[in-house]
Structure 1
Amino acid sequence: MDDQERVNDFFISQVHSWPLLADNREKLGSVRLKSCSFDGFSFRVQFNPGRIISSSAKVDPVSVKQRECFLCAGNRPPQQKALRFRDAYEILCNPFPIFREHFTIARTGHTPQVIGTEFGWLLELSRALPRLVVFYNGPDCGASAPDHMHFQAGSRGAMPLEGELAAVTERYGKPLVRSREFNATAIDDGLRRMILLESVRSERITDAFTPLHDFMRELREGAEPMLNILAYYRERWQVLIFPRGRHRPRQFFEKGENNILISPAAVDMGGLLITPLEKDFLRLSGEDIRDIFSQVSLPVLQFRELQELLSATYGHQP
């Protein structure tokens, strides 16, 4: 039995034994959705009240220290079982899902959300679980547990960008390098700015990620980079990296009617916007989406600097 089959069986057993997971998964069947179309791509908006805790989570250092870590084994619900992955991570079923199959993949020990030393595990997980997209949220741009290293994984096909990626790359992409073993493309579709890394060799992806990571770390004067990452694997890796300029948009902090409770993370960057409040689901327009993503994406000038750095770096690689 391979890793994907083990995870499939584990998920089924958890659905049968954990009523909270089963009930919330069942509710996804009747979740309300709407679409907003842009020039050559789309965003899907999901009204999902179960995500209110995650979307509104206080992730500042003081708040994090004042609560118990919900990813540590001793603090998990007794019904939440774990499936070991290479003795380094534990695969957990997420009881408040966005996808029909939604997992949190937590480090076995309580270590901070730091991608630099863990990026290789992201690639390993995505290769082991080809039916899923594996994703990462930085501690300051989407992770609701910034004190405990974790990835997430979910059913493929739910985020519009997955199906639109070829067209978006063709229309908005700028090749940084093209070779038989490795491609890198900078993409700015007017809402999101992203770097697409593609290869059949994990070491090429890892080598390409390092200068991007270091550039974003320098922007924060040594603090953990603000990155959201989506990783797919089918015969080759496709890794989408979204460098961020801001954690939450202005609307998140507004009072009264101007407030919109949206805190973009990797899934939102992939085109699936999660709205835990009905009022926001009903009012959210294409212009709102454009404004929100213009605030949280890496600014144009810094994205241009990043492209220049990566072009120069990749151009010297064999």
Structure 2
Amino acid sequence: MTTSLKTKKLIQGQLRNWSLAANNYAGLQKVKTKSVQLDGGSEIKVQFNPERIRSSAAKVDTKSIQERPCFLCEKNRPAEQEGIDYGDYTILINPFPIFTEHLTIPHKEHTLQLIAPYFPSMLELAKELDEFTLFYNGPKCGASAPDHFHFQAGIKGFMPLEADFRGKRFAQLHTIHNGVEVFNWAGYNRGVITFKGSHKEAIESLFGKLHKMLADSQPDEVEPMLNVLAYFEEGQYVVHVFPRILHRPACYFAEGDEQILISPASVDMGGVFITPRPEDFEKISAKDVANILKQVCLSEEACKELLNKLMAK
């Protein structure tokens, strides 16, 4: 049985036998959504999802992490939570979903959330789970467990970025390098660098060089700030990298009516803003979204300069 089929069976079984997961997935049918359009024409979906408060408001400072048991370690997971072994990883259903099929894929070892050694695994998993989009949140870019390495995955077709890339309205072919198409995005209100190709090792090489360049620009960080989306379709890997410059926007820390409790991660970068509080869902506007993206993301212009330097290496 393929990993993909095993995963589908896992989801079905967990929704039958684990009441917490079953109730939260059923609750997705009641989740409110709205759409805002940014300057340039890109769409952002906004989702009101109160169960995601755990992630959006997660305390990720060193003291808080040290004082809580790691919820991704097998010994601390709920007894009802089953998993599928995949090499060094365990594929789990995420009991607090954004997607109608939402996975968490932790490493079996309690090891730090750092993408560089595990990026090849991301591509392998994307190919195995080809109905899903894999995503990685950096330790200061939305990961609520920065102490335990993990990916997440959501069923394809949920995030506007996927259709936007296929439509080629915003993604511009920058160059082709060792058989990999390299794209820069324009008019998208956030910097994105995309690699597309069938040669896994060539994509790994490009990502490694980009990662080092970003690391050199942020020498005080344990890892350069970034989010990554990856999926496999029509025999090709597609990897979207979102270089980041800030963990949480000013509105997250504001008080009173000025506060919008959003801690942007990969899904937000992909075009779905998650609001766990009803007041934030009601008031957030296209202007707010654009301002948040401008604060936390590297600009399109800076990404283009980065690509020019990358291709010159």
Which TM-score bucket, shorter chain as reference?
A: over 0.9
Q: How far is 1:300 from its partner?
A: 5.4
- Matched to 2:281, the amino acid is F
* 2: CA distance, partners of 1:108 / 1:62: 23
Q: 1:174, 1:187 within 8 Å by CA — same for their partners in 2?
A: yes
Please, which runs of 5 or more residues in structure 2 have no aligned partner? none
Match of 2:171 in 1: 173
Q: Which contiguous aligned blocks of 4+ residues in structure 1 show a shift greater than 6 angstroms?
A: none
- When normalised by structure 2's length, the TM-score is 0.96
- What's the CA shift for 1:178? 2.2
**In the TM superposition, what is the alpha-carbon distance from 1:211 to its structure 2 partner?**
1.3
Asked if the contact 2:192–2:300 (Cα under 8 Å) also holds between the matched residues in 1, the reply is no
Give the deviation of 1:173 after TM superposition.
3.5
1: CA distance between counterparts of 2:307 and 2:96? 37
Shift of 1:44: 0.3
2:184 and 2:304 in contact (8 A); partners too = no
Correspondences of 1:97-246 after superposition (within 5 Å): 97-167=97-167, 170-178=168-176, 181-221=179-219, 223-234=222-233, 235-246=235-246
Deviations 1:57-83 (A, max 9, x none): 011112111111110011111111121
- Per the TM alignment, residue 191 of structure 1 is displaced from its structure 2 partner at its CA by 1.4
Q: TM-score, normalised by structure 1?
A: 0.94
Instruction: Report the Cα distance in structure 1 between the residues aligned to 2:304 and 2:159, rounded to whole angstroms.
Output: 26
Letter matched to residue 15 of structure 2: V
Aligned pair 1:45/2:46, yes or no? yes
Q: Distance in 2 between matches of 1:195 and 1:52?
A: 29
Query: Partners in 1 of 2:171 and 2:37 — Cα distance?
Result: 19
Gaps of 5+ in 1: 314-318
Aligned length: 310
> Which residue of structure 2 aligns with residue 316 of structure 1?
none
Q: What is the alpha-carbon distance in structure 1 between the residues aligned to residue 152 and residue 132 of structure 2?
A: 10
After TM superposition, the structure 1 stretch with the greater mean CA deviation from structure 2, 290-299 or 118-127, is 290-299
Distance 1:254 1:278, change over 3 A: same
CA contact (8 A) 1:245 1:299 kept: no
**Would you say the 8 A contact 2:251–2:261 is kept in 1?**
yes
Equivalent residues of 2:42, 2:188 under 8 A apart:
no
Partners in 2 of 1:171 and 1:20 — Cα distance?
40
Distance 2:67 2:302 in 1: 35
SS in structure 1 of the partner of residue 117 of structure 2:
coil
Give the secondary structure class of the aligned counterpart of 1:83. strand
Work out the percentage of aligned pairs sharing the same amino acid. Answer: 42
Q: Could you tell me which residue of structure 2 aligns to residue 33 of structure 1?
A: 33
More moved, 295-304 vs 20-29: 295-304
After the TM superposition, which residues 292-311 of structure 1 pair with which residues of structure 2 at under 5 Å, given as runs? 292-299=292-299, 302-311=302-311
Q: What letter corresponds to residue 65 of structure 1 in structure 2?
A: Q
Q: CA deviation at 1:30?
A: 1.8
Task: Tell whether the 8 Å contact from 1:36 to 1:285 is kept in structure 2 after alignment.
Answer: yes
User: 1:285 aligns to what?
Assistant: 285
| 1:301 Cα deviation after fit | 5.9
Greater shift, 203-212 or 178-187, is seen at: 178-187
Q: CA RMSD in A?
A: 1.4
